[in-house]
Structure 1
Amino acid sequence: MAGDSAPLSVPSAGVTLAVRRTGTRTGPTVVLVHGYPDNHHVWDKVVPLLDDLDVVTYDVRGAGASTAPADRDGYRVERLIDDLVAVLDAVRPDGGPVHLVGHDWGSVQLWAAVFAAGSDDRLRGRIASYVSISGPDLRLYGAFLRDAFSRRRFGVLAEQLAKSWYIAAFQVPLVPELVMRRATRSVRRVLVRSQGLDDAHWSGSLARDGANGVNLYRANAFHALRTPAPASTTVPVTLVVPLRDAFLSPALYEDLPRAVDYLQRREVDAGHWMPWTEPALVAEVVRERISSPDAARTAQ
C-alpha cells in the first residue's frame, strides 16, 4: 500500500528540509531532486508512475516548504551535499543504497554527490545509480568551456554561452530577486509559453523559490568553473539529453565518458522541463536504470 506524502522535517546545516515519501517501503528507494526555480511539485506527474517504489522528494534549501540559509554561502554545493546526506539518513537510516534522479539544479548538485561518493564516507556505498536530466557537473561545464575556447570551437562555445545568458544576469545584485518577486506573473507567463508548460506547473511559492534560488548561481557558478574536473566515478549513470533544451547544448556532455565508468546516454526529442512535459518517459528511464545489471551490482 502506498505511504502518505505528509512532509517530514529534516534538519541540515542551518536549514530545515521538507521531505516527502510516497509509494511502498519495500521497493528500491528513489530520491528525486528538483531544480531552479522549481520545488518538489515538478515531480508531481512522475511520482504516481513510480508508486511501486519507495519514492522520496524534497524541497531544496530556500525552496518550497524548506527554510532558507542565512547567507549566500549557505547555497554552496557542499551544503547541498550535506542536505542529501541528511535526507538519506532520515529515509534510509540503515545506510542502504538509493537511486538518485536529478533535474536542472537538482542534477547539478547530484553530480557533485556522485563524484564525491568514492571519497566521502557519508556517501560511500549509498548511491546505487543516478539519472541526470538537464544539469551538468559545474566543474565539467567549466572544462567544456575552456576546451572549446582552446580548440577554437567558437561556434559550439557561442551556442552554449548564448543559452547560459541568465547565469551572468543572476550575478547582478538585487535585480533578479526584484524581478522574481514583483513580476512573478510575467515570469510565469514567459516560461509557460516558451517552454511548453502549463500554468499548473508553478506552485504558489514561485516568487520566493526564484528569488532565493538565484543564490545557487552566485555561490557556485564562477567558483566551480575555476575548479579542476573531478575524478571518475563508478556509480552507474543514465544521462538524459533533451535535444530541444533551451538552456543546455548536447555538446556539453561530449567528454563525460572519461569521467563515468558506466554511462548510458539517451537523447530524446524533448525540452528542458521533461519531468513535467514527459513524465512517462522519465519514469521509464528511471525504471530501466534501477533494473540494469550494473545498478544491481552497485546496490549489493
Structure 2
Amino acid sequence: MSGTERIGTFTRDGLVFDVRDEGPIDGTPVVLLHGFPQDSRSWDALAPLLHRRGFRTLAPDQRGYSAGARPRARWAYRTSELVADVVALIDQAGLGPAHVVGHDWGAAVAWGIAAERPDRVRTLTALSVPHPAAFVRAMVTSRQILKSWYMFAFQLPWIPERVIASDRFGYRALRASGQSVGEAKRDLESMRDRTRARGALNWYRAMPFTAPRSASRKVRVPTLLVWSDGDTAIGPVGPALTSRFVDGPYTYEVLHGVSHWIPDEAAVRVDELLGNHLLDQS
C-alpha cells in the first residue's frame, strides 16, 4: 500500500486491527500506541496538536482491544507478538520508518520495537513507562513492586475481568489514579465487553512468556522519556535508571503535578516536547 492512502485496518496472521489514520496524508507518520485499559481514543487530546504541526498520526486499537484481534490464549500476547503487530502496521501502511509514541503498555511495546526493529523507528517517545530492564531493576531495588501489585493480581483467571468492569472497583481505581470522571467512564465502559477485558488483561498474563534477553536490549534510536511525579503506578527509580539502557540521543523530562494519564491530562505539554523531539529527526 502507498503511504499516501488512508487505512482503517491492517491485518496480521489472520487478525484484523482497527486504526485511526488522521492528519495530513503526506505528513511524517507518527504511530500512537495506547496502554491499559484504554484504546486509540486516549490520543484524542494530543493527536490534533500533532496534526497542526504537520504530522500524520496512526493510532491502532492493539491486540485484545480490536474486535477482530482477540486471540484467547495468553501466550499470544507476549511482547514479541505485540511488537510484530506494530511493525505490520508500519509496513502495510507503506510508511517507512515512523516516529513511535507509546503510553503505559504502549510504551513497553514502543521500547520493544525500538530495540528489535530500529529500522522501522525514526524516534521513540515513551510516556510513563521506563525501559523494561530499568523497570525490572526498580522492582527489586525500590518500592516499585508494591506499586505494581495489580500485575500479580491480574494473573488470576476470570476474576479480574469481572472486577475491572465494576463501578465498585474499576471506576474507583481509575479515579484514584488521577483520571477524570469522563475518561474513567470512557475506559471502564469498554471493559464491560468480557472478551475485550480478557484480551487487555492477557498483556499482563503473557509477561512470563517474554524472553529476559529481549527485554534487556539497549535502544539506539533518538529517545524521549516523559514521566510524571503524580504517577501512582510507576515510581521514579525506573525512569531514573533508563539512561543506562539508551545508547542513542536521550532526553528525560518530568511533568510535575501530573498523574499517570499523561496523554489525556498533559497533551499540550507533551505536544511541546514532541515538537522538538520529532522535528529534529523528520
2:125 pairs with 1:141: no
CA distance in 1, matches of 2:68, 2:167: 20
Residues 192 and 199 in structure 1, CA contact (< 8 A), matched pair in contact too: no
Given the alignment of the two structures, is residue 57 of structure 1 paired with residue 66 of structure 2, yes or no?
no
Structure 1 runs (4+) greater than 4 angstroms displaced: 223-229
State TM-score, norm by structure 1. 0.82
In 2: Cα distance, 1:170 partner to 1:145 partner:
17
Give yes or no for contact 1:128–1:235 (8 Å, CA) kept in 2: yes
Structure 2: how far apart are the matches of 1:239 and 1:32? 15
> Do 2:131 and 2:242's aligned partners in 1 also have CA atoms closer than 8 Å?
no
User: What does 1:242-281 correspond to in 2, within 5 Å?
Assistant: 242-261=228-247, 262-269=249-256, 270-281=258-269
Name the aligned partner's letter for residue 275 of structure 1. Answer: P
1:231 matched to 2:233: no
Q: Which residue, out of 81, 84, 98, partners 2:83?
A: 81
**Contact persistence 1:178–1:211 (CA under 8 A):** no
Q: C-alpha displacement at 1:114, in angstroms?
A: 0.7
Query: Which of 178, 181, 187 is residue 195 of structure 1 equivalent to?
Result: 178
Q: 1: distance between equivalents of 2:215 and 2:31?
A: 25
SS in 1 for 2:252: strand
Question: What is the SS of the residue equivalent to 1:286?
Answer: helix
Deviation sequence 1:63-92 (CA, Å, 0-9, x none):
14452013111111111011101110122x
Paired with 2:109 and 2:246, the residues of 1 have a C-alpha distance of 16
* Match in the other structure for 1:215: 202
> What code does the residue aligned with 1:235 have?
V
Mapped to 1, the partners of 2:132 and 2:269 lie a distance apart of 26
C-alpha separation between the residues in 1 aligned to 2:221 and 2:89?
A: 19
Tell me the TM-score normalized by structure 2: 0.87
| Identity score, percent | 29
Question: CA shift at 1:167, angstroms?
Answer: 0.7
* RMSD (CA atoms): 2.3
Q: CA deviation at 1:195?
A: 1.1
CA shift in 2, pair 1:240/1:71, >3 Å: same
After superposition, the Cα gap between the structure-2 partners of 1:44 and 1:31, relative to the gap in structure 1 and judged at 3 Å, is same
CA distance in structure 2 between the aligned counterparts of 1:225 and 1:256, rounded to whole angstroms: 19
Look up the match of 2:46: 46
State the one-letter code of the partner of 1:198: V
184 and 59 in structure 1: CA distance in 2 versus 1, 3 angstrom threshold: farther
Residue of structure 2 in register with 1:167 after alignment: 151
Distance 1:89 1:188, change over 3 A: same
DSSP 3-state at the match of 1:115 = helix
Alignment of 1:206 with 2:191, yes or no, is: yes
Q: What residue in structure 2 maps to residue 132 of structure 1? A: 126
Number of residue pairs matched?
270
Give 1:285's aligned amino acid.
Answer: L
